[in-house]
């Protein structure tokens, strides 16, 4: 019961993360459910659903199918649809009911691929884990399957790992990040996985360095390191000076082969708490330090964390209750996070809204502003 949420909504689940990561890559995405989970993703977790197209479907699981374990019907429907649509790949994923009845989604994917000749993935998602787990697993699976050739490295080039609208919305954020890197002489080779297609991703081993822009991209960075010897840097180009420092780290990683990340100094007791996706919040903290000389900032992370950038003062917010204790502790005079977090604050603090689609869905995804470069100033008014 420790994860009971009374005020906050449920955060985006793992199957939404899988769909979001693969949305633009030309695959046929099938959620094994009774249509409710698919509607949850398309209606509330996917801004692109309302202005673009993607092959996202529900298996329309019914009571008797669940009771009798009628997998052949599911497989037959997918094979028939795939032969008509000719997708680049097929992805099937679970929801709570397949988890309860023990559906072998990986085994189904193997059978579907054998029957259609189309690459197929099966993910044992449950709807009980968060979106970032799904994004991480999906990006890793696609890369292992399709990024197989070691191309010659392109000097001063990078891949951005871990980009989905659940963290970055579908506004200009990712494009602005690309611009920040390219205006500093660093070519962005591929983005996993927004504003790209599968063909570009297949050539992503040619990048000299990978940049992990969300915790969801960390496992993929580890894979590229093992498979192709590509070093990684963790961070986002938020703020001008901080972006300069990040690009210096990229050049250093390219020259040395070391894995690097943005660092910060908490020289005084923290007065600011920033809550959200860890890499975004860490880069924002570094920006406050580098661009505005503001130290004393803690991160509260409800989702995945990367141990390399986690400090002793950072807080794992694994429940609504833990979050309420942190924001109402009296330690912080300023809290930055999704607008919905303001509803659990009971003390007078300076609250700075920073919408996060995985938390507040369509309530605020049109209000989101770009964090890239100097644009961060538009968000930090009242702090800087």
pLDDT at residue 54, as a whole number: 87
Is it the case that residue 102 has pLDDT exceeding 90? no
Pairing assessment for the beta strands 232-234 and 187-192 based on DSSP bridges: unpaired
pLDDT at residue 69, as a whole number: 64
Token pair for residue 139? 């990006």
pLDDT at residue 324, as a whole number: 93
DSSP 23: T
Q: Are 15 and 94 in contact (CB under 8 A)?
A: yes
Q: Are 289 and 351 in contact (CB under 8 A)?
A: no
Token pair for residue 372? 């890239």
Is it the case that residue 62 has pLDDT exceeding 80? no
Q: What does the alpha-carbon distance between residue 154 and residue 352 come to, in Å, rounded to a whole number?
A: 40
Enumerate helices (H) and strands (E) in the chain, giving the number of each: 15, 14
3-state SS class at 373: strand
Is it the case that residue 163 has pLDDT exceeding 90? yes
Rounded percentage of the chain residues whose pLDDT exceeds 90: 67
Is it the case that residue 131 has pLDDT exceeding 90? yes
Is it the case that residue 65 has pLDDT exceeding 80? no
Q: What does the alpha-carbon distance between residue 12 and residue 281 come to, in Å, rounded to a whole number?
A: 18
Q: What does the alpha-carbon distance between residue 140 and residue 268 come to, in Å, rounded to a whole number?
A: 39
Residue 378: which pLDDT band, with cuts at 50, 70 and 90? confident
pLDDT at residue 60, as a whole number: 81
- State if pTM tops 0.95: no
What is the rounded average pLDDT for all residues in the chain?
Answer: 90
pLDDT at residue 224, as a whole number: 97
- The DSSP-derived string for 72-111 is HHHHHHHHHHHHHH--S-EEEE--HHHHHHT--HHHHHHH
Q: Are 69 and 37 in contact (CB under 8 A)?
A: no
Is it the case that residue 59 has pLDDT exceeding 90? no
pLDDT at residue 268, as a whole number: 66
Instruction: List, in order of start, the domains of the chain with CATH numbers.
Output: 14-129 (3.40.50.1980), 149-261 (3.40.50.1980), 272-378 (3.40.50)
Return the higher-pLDDT residue of 325 and 381. 325
Is it the case that residue 381 has pLDDT exceeding 90? no
Q: What does the alpha-carbon distance between residue 290 and residue 203 come to, in Å, rounded to a whole number?
A: 34
Residue 1: which pLDDT band, with cuts at 50, 70 and 90? low
Q: What does the alpha-carbon distance between residue 349 and residue 106 come to, in Å, rounded to a whole number?
A: 48
Pairing assessment for the beta strands 232-234 and 55-58 based on DSSP bridges: unpaired
Return the higher-pLDDT residue of 38 and 23. 23
Largest CA distance in the chain: 63
pLDDT at residue 369, as a whole number: 78
Is it the case that residue 277 has pLDDT exceeding 70? yes
State the sign of the Cα–Cα–Cα–Cα dihedral 199, 205, 210, 216: positive
Exposed, middle or buried, 253 (CB in 10 Å: 0-12/13-18/19+)?
Answer: buried
Provide φ and ψ at 155, rounded to 5°: -60, 145
pLDDT at residue 340, as a whole number: 96
Is it the case that residue 331 has pLDDT exceeding 80? yes
CA angle (90, 365, 333) in 5-degree steps: 125
Residue 34: which pLDDT band, with cuts at 50, 70 and 90? confident
């Amino acid at each position: 019961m420790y994860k009971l949420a009374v005020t906050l909504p449920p955060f985006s689940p793992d199957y939404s993360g899988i769909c979001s990561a693969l949305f633009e890559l030309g695959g046929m995405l099938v959620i094994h459910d009774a249509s409710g989970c698919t509607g949850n993703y398309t209606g509330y977790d996917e801004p692109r659903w309302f202005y673009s197209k993607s092959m996202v479907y529900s298996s329309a699981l019914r009571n008797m199918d669940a009771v009798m374990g009628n997998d052949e019907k599911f497989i037959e429907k997918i094979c028939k649809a795939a032969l008509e649509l000719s997708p680049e790949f097929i992805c099937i994923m679970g929801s709570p009911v397949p988890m309860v009845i023990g559906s072998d989604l990986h085994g189904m994917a193997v059978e579907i691929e054998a029957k259609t000749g189309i690459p197929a993935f099966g993910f044992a998602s449950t709807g009980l884990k968060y979106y970032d787990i799904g994004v991480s697993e999906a990006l890793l699976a696609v890369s292992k399957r399709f990024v197989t050739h070691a191309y010659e490295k392109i000097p001063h080039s990078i891949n951005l790992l871990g980009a989905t609208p659940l963290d970055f919305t579908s506004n200009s954020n990712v494009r602005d990040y690309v611009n920040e890197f390219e205006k500093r002489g660093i070519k962005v080779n591929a983005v996993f996985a927004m504003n790209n297609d599968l063909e570009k991703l297949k050539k992503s081993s040619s990048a000299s360095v990978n940049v992990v822009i969300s915790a969801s991209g960390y496992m993929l960075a580890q894979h590229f390191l093992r498979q192709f010897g590509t070093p990684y840097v963790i961070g986002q180009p938020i703020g001008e000076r901080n972006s300069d420092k990040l690009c210096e780290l990229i050049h250093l990683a390219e020259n040395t082969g070391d894995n690097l990340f943005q660092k910060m100094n908490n020289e005084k007791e923290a007065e600011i708490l920033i809550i959200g996706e860890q890499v975004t919040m860490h880069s924002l903290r570094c920006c406050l330090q580098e661009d505005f000389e503001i130290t004393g900032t803690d991160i509260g992370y409800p989702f995945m964390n990367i141990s390399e950038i986690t400090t002793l003062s950072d807080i794992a917010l694994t429940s609504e209750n833990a979050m309420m204790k942190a924001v109402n502790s009296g330690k912080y005079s300023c809290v930055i996070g999704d607008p919905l977090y303001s509803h659990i604050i009971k003390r007078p603090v300076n609250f700075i809204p920073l919408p996060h689609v995985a938390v507040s869905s369509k309530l605020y995804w049109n209000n989101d502003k770009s964090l890239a470069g100097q644009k961060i100033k538009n968000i930090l008014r009242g702090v800087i």
